[in-house]
Amino acid sequence: MKKGLNIFGKASAIIVAIALFCGSAMAQTGHTTSLKFDKTVHNFGKILYGSGEKKCEFRYTNISKEPVVINNILSSCGCSVPEWNKAPIRPGESGVIKVTYLNDQGAYPFDKTLTVYVSSSQKPIILRITGVAYDKAKPVSELYPAHFGPLGMKAEVQNGGQIEQGLKKALKENVVNISQKKVAVSFADADPALDISVSPSVIGPGESATISYSIDTRKGKTRWGKNYYKATILCDGKKAGEFSSEATVLTPYTSLSKEQKDNAPQIILDKSSVPFGSAGVYSTIDLSVKISNPGKSELRIYKVETGGERMDISCPSRIKAGGTGTLKAKIHPRDAEMDKVFIITLITNSPDRPLVTIFSSGTIWPER
């Protein structure tokens, strides 16, 4: 099967010419999406791993006034194979993209994307196939071990990664109905920075859906470092649990100009690893780290995180350009552990090091 535009000779020249013409024509007429699809997501639901290939179709119609060419379709995984007509699609004409899911990746929930490049638009169209491939020996409830009433997810807390302050990040997670009856899912009491929805909103027994959510750091109060963004999960209107996504908010660093970076603050520690040797449970471990700012503007330390350990920390929140400061910590160990590592994390406004980590390691002995 051919992938992409692999037609040679005169046919190739004609298609390229039409593609170029369509690009300028659509730009002038203002079309952004010339192909209207009957759907953009196909959910296979629950399928048996090893039961053979699964096929689906995405039907489309050219709703523009010019011919359109599907130049290429890129699959996010070799297990999803698209087929499509390489010829120009005239105005009003319809067509179909056929997709074969090989079903050879193992027993697991899947969510694959197909990126469709169309001659009339600079932005591709995203199609998705989803579902749950299962093994008879492993029920879906085990594939989704975090349970929220009749729903199952892969984890109790979702991983939102890092987000720059002032920006918005969009994410997706799979959810499965592990009960024996269909469930209507919705959300309530969402964090002001959290926008969340599920599709489809009614999930049949053993079927999967996609939770789409975004974290917008511009909404709600300004937060730094590790944060949890939560919403109540409702199943048939009743509380079934709490959706939670953990994300770390950092100072903007990818959008700065060269001049802004050249004039930005910097942070340098005289040591980032501080061994303490050994200490007893319920003792106190003292730690001191010198912080320097050789940058051209004021260094700000927005937040100091300890990972839940018991610590008393003194740390300057501002250090002038060319200045220094000292972080001091008193660590109070609670449990005996042969190889213990205490972690202190600084959230700063340095674009080169928005997140700085200090480690203190040693042995904690039982109380005698």
How would DSSP label each residue in 93-126?
Answer: -EEEEEEEE---S-SSEEEEEEEEEETT-SSPEE
Alpha carbons 295 and 352: distance in angstroms, whole number: 11
In this predicted structure, the answer to whether residue 350 has a pLDDT above a threshold of 70 is yes
Alpha carbons 160 and 1: distance in angstroms, whole number: 38
**pLDDT given for residue 49 in this prediction:** 84
**pLDDT given for residue 330 in this prediction:** 96
Task: From 368, 362, 358, 359, select the one nearest 333 (Cα to Cα).
Answer: 362
The band of 138, judged by pLDDT with boundaries at 50, 70 and 90, is low
Choose between 140 and 208: higher pLDDT: 208
Write out the CATH class of domain 140-250. Answer: mainly beta
- Model confidence pLDDT, tens digit, residues 287-315: 999 999 999 999 999 999 998 899 999 99
Structure tokens at 113: 């994307």
Q: For the chain, how many residues are written? A: 368
- The CATH homologous superfamily for domain 258-365 is Immunoglobulins (2.60.40.10)
In this predicted structure, the answer to whether residue 249 has a pLDDT above a threshold of 90 is yes
* Average pLDDT over all residues of the chain: 87
Under CATH, what is the fold of the domain 10-134? Immunoglobulin-like (2.60.40)
SS3 state at 18: helix
* 195 strand-pairing partners: 214
**pLDDT given for residue 368 in this prediction:** 58
Predicted TM-score (pTM) above 0.75: no
| Amino acid letter for position 108 | Y
The least confident of 137-151, 165-179, 207-221, 228-242 is 137-151
Alpha carbons 7 and 72: distance in angstroms, whole number: 12
Alpha carbons 210 and 207: distance in angstroms, whole number: 11
| Amino acid letter for position 15 | I
Alpha carbons 67 and 264: distance in angstroms, whole number: 51
What are the φ and ψ backbone dihedral angles of 122, each rounded to 5 degrees? -75, -25
In the chain, where does the domain assigned CATH 2.60.40.10 lie?
10-134, 140-250, 258-365
